[in-house]
Amino acid sequence: MNLKNRNKLLIVALGCVALICNPMSAMAQDSPSNTASSNLRVSLEEAKQYAISHNHTMQNATYAEKKAEAQKWQVISTMLPQVKLAYDYTNFCGHEMDFSAMGIGKIKDPSTGTFSVTASITLSGAQIAGAHVTKLASELSKINTEKNNQDISSDVIQTYMSILMLEKTNGLLKENLENIKTLQTATDEAVRVGVSEETDADQLKVQVASMKNTINQTERSIETLYNTLKTLLGASFDTKIVLTDSIGNLLNAEKALNLLSQNINLNNNNNYRILKANTEIAKGQVTQAWWNYGPQVTAFYQYSNKQYFADDVNPFSKMSDIPHIVGISASWTPFTSGGNYAKVKAAKMDLATAQSTLELTADQLKIQDAQARFNLNSTYENYKTQEENLEVTAKVLASTTNKFRYGTASSLDVTNASTNLIIAQNNYVSAMSDLINAQITLEKLLNTPNSSTQTTANK
């Protein structure tokens, strides 16, 4: 291995040792003052709650829920009394009725104004069944809102913790860069006095440039994640988000493992609840289709007050004046050339499809639950293994580095030890990410009250 690679691995490894010896230095979070109005300082829990209140997708889900509730009452209102107020003005334009044969002569039709109040109510089995369907649709909309809460919460958790892990890695890269710069300065001085070759200094310059490029790429990735978090939170683009939690405080491997003791309840799973609600709606639509065969009953009451715009009104003109009218009617359409039968058949097919999908989903969720438990258990074991391996490789490098100073270890030994530590550190971060994702996946399946993917809004 050439001098460039050996020096690079050595300095990066020494930075990893510093991380192990003083982990809080890498986990420390920036705490800028909150004087600027565009700053948003949030813990993970606060970020989830903020997203529930401000995320645009969540707002649309809330609007859909309110719309479904309004549609429910719109259907119910058709079965409640309806009151209609009306005023009619009639002018016969001087028309006269000739009653000469009856010895009365001609009678002029007077202009009239009629004020009427009509109260009516119409009931049918199809209306009642339809009201039940809209009630179920309103409940489905609420479940969809809860699912959106859960999905947004999960996305916030993953994005929030991804930022923390990248910031932790970026901090380590910057420490390594400073170490490389220090080594570069010493090498430049050695070249100047003639005890080292100029190519060594050139190689270090390349390493510094490469490390800067890596840091820039990492910072761009962090910026992208911050923009994603802004979108999830519903914050404006110019808002500066400050994360107040640390990865060390948020990651709780033992808590994640406790999920394995909880059994899945399909009625708690939001995907299953949505399909179950769709099945209930399909049942209601079958009932509604059958009630199209039923009768419809209408009852009404009407009050009218007619005013004549004439001084002398013939009594014959008032013969049809009836101030109060009460009526009831019933209608039934037993034959529709197969139209109602087709509606019932179509509704039954929709119900059969919904029931089949529900059964399939139940089986799939059980399989997903088993797989999620296996994944969580595996990622937990891998995380603990990588955590222990990181500690051991750090001690090995520290020991090897100390031996190298006293001439009892070769540069190859230090290179191998540093390479092992870099690999261990990468494996540890990867295991941490896998554990978090496995925990979120199982929590979404279980949807328990103590789940981190739940929020106050849907507990």
pLDDT in tens, 114-166: 999 999 999 999 999 999 999 999 999 999 999 999 999 999 998 999 899 88
CA angle 170, 207, 3 (to 5 degrees): 130
- List pLDDT tens digits, range 240-270: 999 999 888 888 888 888 888 899 999 999 9
| Residue carrying structure tokens 């109060």 | 324
Measure the CA–CA gap between 80 and 123, rounded to whole angstroms.
9
Closest Cα to residue 442, out of 247, 272, 253, 260? 260
Distance CA 417, CA 424 (A): 10
Residues 179 and 209: their CA atoms lie apart, in Å, by 13
What letter represents residue 90's amino acid? T
DSSP 256-280: HHHGGGSPP-GGG-HHHHHHHHHHH
| Type of residue numbered 292 | N
Report pLDDT for 109: 75
**Going along 151-295, which residue ranges are E strands?**
240-243
Q: State the pTM of this model.
A: 0.76
Interior CA angle at 57 toward 55 and 61, to 5°? 115
How many Å apart are CA 45 and CA 446, to the nearest integer?
19
Output phi, psi for 122, to 5 deg. Answer: -125, 130
Place 367 in a pLDDT band, splitting at 50, 70 and 90.
very high
Residue 116's pLDDT is what?
A: 93
pLDDT tens digits, residue range 274-304?
999 999 999 999 999 999 899 999 999 999 9
How far apart are alpha carbons 252 and 157 in whole angstroms? 13
Task: Give residue 404's pLDDT.
Answer: 52
Domains of the chain: 3-30+43-458 (1.20.1600.10)
pLDDT band for position 229 (cuts 50, 70, 90):
very high
According to DSSP, the β-strands at 240-243 and 96-99 are unpaired
